Structure 1
Amino acid sequence: MRLPQPIRDNLQFMLAETSTQLNNLVELLDAPSAELSQRIFDRRGYSYNLKMRIQDACANAVQGSGGTEKIETHSLRAAESIATQLERLTSLIHDCARQLDGCKRRGILKSLSSTGLLDDVVKGIELIRSGIEEEGTKTAMKVSDLAVAMSSKHEDFFEGQSRELQSIEHPDRVLTAFFIATQLNEMSAVLRDVSESMVGARLGRPMQRDRFHLLKTAFDDLGIDRATVAKVAETNSGTNISRIGRSRSNGFAAIVKDGEKRKLKEERKSVENWHEIFPGIAPQILSYRKRGDNASLMIEHLPGFTFDKVLLSGSDEQLKLAQQQLAKTLKAVWRETKSDKQVSPKHMTQLRKRLGSVVEVHPEFDRGRGRICQTRTKSLRDLIDEAEEKESQVTPPFSVYIHGDFNLDNIIIDPSAERVNFIDLHRSCYSDYTQDVSVFMVSNYRLQALDKRTRHRITNVADNMHVKARKFAKQHDDTTFELRLAFGLARSFITSTRFILDKTLAKSMYLRGLYILERAIEHPIESAAKFRLPIRELFS
């Protein structure tokens, strides 16, 4: 870890203090005494003060750099986390001492001492002491392995003592041992968290043990001994996305996703489906590994830019070409994958499912029934129920293979090769193309860019997508496209507010969703082909 000397020194002081407190607890377990307990109690505030010094120093290091001095932000973040965890560990020591306070019997916890749990914590602190001085992750993983071993010892101790509790003469002593063992198991969790923070100093983010081993396996699959890792994103589902590059070369070798095994298994299957159904649009899978409940999926690193970056930062010509490439690709995908099977996207079912999350962020959106003069107003849930009934009467005439999560940052534009690629494909399936069209259009609107030029570009991109999709619908006799799209747009406008904390933007999206719902409900189903929305006004 690369840290300023004052932070490094205070971390060492904190480790020394933690070690001293652990040794006091070792003595206290062997021979409980009021004097030893008081010694632990008296030093409780010192660890807290050291933690605050480290956190303040980290904040000052960031603020004082002024952008001119290169600082190791990953190491600073790790130092803050380690200080917090060490202070948590001393708090656990304090709790153990309080439980033992006043106990005069010697040796009542010999069975606990024999487990070696406390010795493991002492060993873990020594490993951390040396680990913060090294650049790699070898010692950090030793700390993690030690934490895992401690958890196993804790389980064995509990099982053994639970059997003896039924016949033991002094069950209160065993219960005391249980409490201390629980606290020691919490200390193993501290060691695990510190280990993850130490790994984070090297890789840019804390990483669980299984995920680290999966990432290391990815290096092996690429034949890389030493590599650079750059965090790309952390998804709402808990998946981490990183770029892997070779240390001695420019560019990146691959993208690695690590997270829940079920979700990554779904994505691997979806990517494979895309290769079979429409080759060339999905990235190549380089490897798939699983370990416990986690997995890693390594895919090729695609050249180019996400569509949102082109929209926000590209020139007018670059944006125009990106739209042309995307329209050409979508038309080809829809044409090639068109199936007579009718699949309803059930936009209103999706809206109802996510409404709870929307209301958690914006409780004011949970509109109830009311009255304006002599007119009764409907609640949001009433509108959804009515819209769902009408949606069920406009089943799409055909289905196509869709992306399923067609946000701007899931579309890669490669201007040099005039190629479009899709990523994050775990929701791909045969469905109504209004699903992808509506998500794409609203993901434009929710971009938090306020300047007039960018908002104008956003309006044009959304409108252009609508025009292209409507043209495809007309060519394939899809007469209810506009009404189905309305249900999709209403869903996306309202559900997307759960990601928006800006009250002005969120309210604007919510009101647009309500307006579209009311328009769609009021329109006679027998004239569904005549339904139209003022798209440019809605996206301005």
Structure 2
Amino acid sequence: MTNLPKPIRENLHFLCAEIDGQLGQLEAFFAEPTVATARRIMDRAGYAHNLKTRIHAACVRRLAATGKDNRAHLTLRSLEFIATDLQRLANLARQSLRHVERIESFETLVPARYPAIVQRVRQGVARIEEAFFKNDSERAIGIGQLQDKIETDYRKLFRIYTREMRNPDVLPADIANSLLVASEFQRMGESLKSISEAVISANIGQAVNFERYFALQSLMSDMEGNGGDLKVETIAETRSGSSISAIRHGKTQAVAAVFKDGEKSKVKEERQGVKSWHSIYPGLAPKILSYRKRDQSAALLIEHLPGLTFEHIVLSESDTLCETALACLAATLKDIWKQTRTSEPAELGSMQQLAKRLGSVRRVHPEFKDTRIRFAGEVLPSFDALIAEAAAREAKVPAPFSVYIHGDFNVDNIIFDPGEKRIHFIDLHRSRYMDYVQDVSVFMVSNYRLQVLDLETRQRIMNVSQSFFKSARAFARKQGDETFEYRLALGLARSFASSTRFIFDKSHARRMWLRARYLIEQAVACPPGGEAGFRLQMKEIFVD
């Protein structure tokens, strides 16, 4: 545990004591309701708020002085969360009293049931300091588990109140306010769980929720045979909500494995994708060391693959290494495509994909709203109208064959091992048989959207995209895929436009949006039946 200043420790102690005191008054109120008891609780709002504010201010000052010590940052941030949720308990207690005040018949509330619930909350508050300052994760888990008991208490009260709705002698308003009182206590349980997660995060040096902690503990127990202390550090968080962490040996700092968790369906897809690649093209995907599921979440322990991401290579490594990695990637893809080719035609459906993502794009960039454009006295079709027209054209031009694709072929999902000169793929939950143009277009645009502005790097990005395009086009011609460039134009348009939802820079996003429109206009302008003769002006598209 970070060596916290004495004022922070003292203020947390005072805040826990203050909240326990207010909860004690609340417990007494339900046992014997009096105006005086209620007033004592209502009048203490300012003190809890001041203590929380002092803790926050002290943590902010401490954060500014900790440099880049991630463990210290996490401890201080966890302490802020704990203080916030402690004050929230006091707020919920006062809010419950406001609902009680509106109940005409106090017996409708069944007040005898509430002291036991308040005692559960007090038990949680009493465990916080020891769990936090003594790194006692078992005690922290106990705090979180109180939520389940409070939730059970809430459901019993809910059934009582809803049953009383059929009683003509009970005022509907009393039932409504009783339900609101019970709801405030349900939220107290949620606050205890949040406090539990904050304490656990501080103790293990890794931001976790309850489900993630149990999955992490379970999977790390599978690695006990490796010996030595194991430490966890976050290395990425995906847009789908999954978290990715490196598990390192405490002494050597070598990465022993990669831990990935998230929504059960997503993790299950990842696991299935890895298994599929092992059967289809062995050696490309990492090995799954262990798998656990709990409720609606799941986690994987994955083999750590040596090497560098393609993103890192493009942005930070030498031209020679970049060229070597690109050549290895092109050769690997051609081999995969040849080995997995089936005669089943594949519809890319890029315009349908784009249409579904327009809402997300426009929430980030409302300036891309669908309006008609006037230029030189002419009214140009709206973006949405172009997509609809292009979708109809695209449906008539399927790929002549299918191959097994990555499905999310961004530059940070490709790893190159310079020592072995081998390519590896990660993040495989979208892998399937499909038009290979999907991967080609995603890779090219994921290079372009890298947010670097210096001319030398932008030139390298353009060269990578041009070389990759030429390699994919050469494969298409050898396979007799005559409409490759036409489908690629629409695939690139989809990737350019949909990727703007990840780009905050307005000028960069606008350049991508305009490229998408240009490509769709070119595809629509191509005479029906002439798709095999369509040619992409790749230099114009990728130059800045």
How many Å separate the matches in 2 of 1:529 and 1:166? 72
Structure 2 contact 20–125 (Cα < 8 Å) conserved:
yes
How many Å separate the matches in 2 of 1:139 and 1:246? 26
2:369 to 366, 369, 375: 366
Q: 1:106-117 maps to which residues of 2 (within 5 A)?
A: 111-113=111-113, 116-117=116-117
Q: 1:201-220 maps to which residues of 2 (within 5 A)?
A: 201-220=202-221
Shift of 1:161: 4.1
Alignment partner, residue 233 of structure 2: 230
Shift of 1:359: 1.0
Q: Which amino acid aligns with 1:283?
A: P
Task: Give the unaligned 5+ runs of structure 1.
Answer: none
Alignment partner, residue 513 of structure 2: 510
Structure 1 contact 218–287 (Cα < 8 Å) conserved:
yes
Q: Secondary structure at the match of 1:35?
A: helix
Q: Which amino acid aligns with 2:282?
A: P
Alignment partner, residue 61 of structure 1: 62
What's the % identity of the aligned pairs? Answer: 42
Q: Which amino acid aligns with 2:72?
A: E
Count of matched residue positions in the alignment of Structure 1 and Structure 2: 539
Q: Which amino acid aligns with 2:117?
A: L
Structure 2 contact 27–115 (Cα < 8 Å) conserved:
no
Alignment partner, residue 355 of structure 1: 358
Q: 1:407-486 maps to which residues of 2 (within 5 A)?
A: 407-486=410-489
Alignment partner, residue 33 of structure 1: 34
Moved more, 366-375 or 183-192: 366-375
1:277 to 270, 275, 280: 280
How many Å separate the matches in 2 of 1:3 and 1:158? 45
Structure 2 contact 206–233 (Cα < 8 Å) conserved:
no
Alignment partner, residue 192 of structure 1: 193
Coordinate RMSD, CA, aligned: 2.2
Q: Secondary structure at the match of 2:293?
A: strand
Structure 2 contact 414–424 (Cα < 8 Å) conserved:
yes
Q: Which amino acid aligns with 2:219?
A: A
Task: Give the unaligned 5+ runs of structure 2.
Answer: none
Alignment partner, residue 160 of structure 2: 160
Alignment partner, residue 289 of structure 1: 292
Structure 1 contact 199–207 (Cα < 8 Å) conserved:
yes
Q: Which amino acid aligns with 2:12?
A: L
1:180 aligns with 2:215: no
Structure 1 contact 32–105 (Cα < 8 Å) conserved:
no
How many Å separate the matches in 1 of 2:520 and 2:236? 33
Alignment partner, residue 90 of structure 1: 90
Q: Which amino acid aligns with 2:194?
A: D
Judging changes above 3 Å, is the alpha-carbon distance between structure 1 residues 391 and 107 closer, same or farther for their aligned structure 2 residues?
closer
Shift of 1:151: 0.8
TM-score by structure 1 length?
0.94
Alignment partner, residue 129 of structure 1: 129
1:21 aligns with 2:22: yes
Judging changes above 3 Å, is the alpha-carbon distance between structure 1 residues 219 and 106 closer, same or farther for their aligned structure 2 residues?
same
Structure 1 contact 459–539 (Cα < 8 Å) conserved:
yes
Q: Which amino acid aligns with 2:180?
A: F
Judging changes above 3 Å, is the alpha-carbon distance between structure 1 residues 176 and 435 closer, same or farther for their aligned structure 2 residues?
closer
Q: Which amino acid aligns with 1:320?
A: E
Q: Which amino acid aligns with 2:88?
A: R
Shift of 1:327: 1.1
Judging changes above 3 Å, is the alpha-carbon distance between structure 1 residues 173 and 407 closer, same or farther for their aligned structure 2 residues?
same
User: CA offsets per residue over residues 261-305 of structure 1, 9 Å max, x none?
Assistant: 111111211111111111111111112221111111221111111
User: CA offsets per residue over residues 230-256 of structure 1, 9 Å max, x none?
Assistant: 112221211111122333443122112
How many Å separate the matches in 1 of 2:510 and 2:20? 54
1:380 aligns with 2:383: yes
Q: Secondary structure at the match of 1:341?
A: coil
Shift of 1:106: 8.2
Judging changes above 3 Å, is the alpha-carbon distance between structure 1 residues 112 and 531 closer, same or farther for their aligned structure 2 residues?
farther
Q: Which amino acid aligns with 1:26?
A: E
Shift of 1:114: 5.8
1:307 to 304, 307, 310: 310
How many Å separate the matches in 2 of 1:63 and 1:131? 25
Q: Secondary structure at the match of 1:132?
A: helix
Judging changes above 3 Å, is the alpha-carbon distance between structure 1 residues 369 and 107 closer, same or farther for their aligned structure 2 residues?
closer
Q: Secondary structure at the match of 1:16?
A: helix
Q: Secondary structure at the match of 1:253?
A: strand
Shift of 1:376: 1.8
How many Å separate the matches in 2 of 1:102 and 1:350? 52
How many Å separate the matches in 2 of 1:93 and 1:308? 51
Moved more, 399-408 or 49-58: 49-58
Q: Which amino acid aligns with 2:496?
A: F
How many Å separate the matches in 2 of 1:296 and 1:507? 38
How many Å separate the matches in 2 of 1:511 and 1:204? 44
Structure 1 contact 483–520 (Cα < 8 Å) conserved:
yes
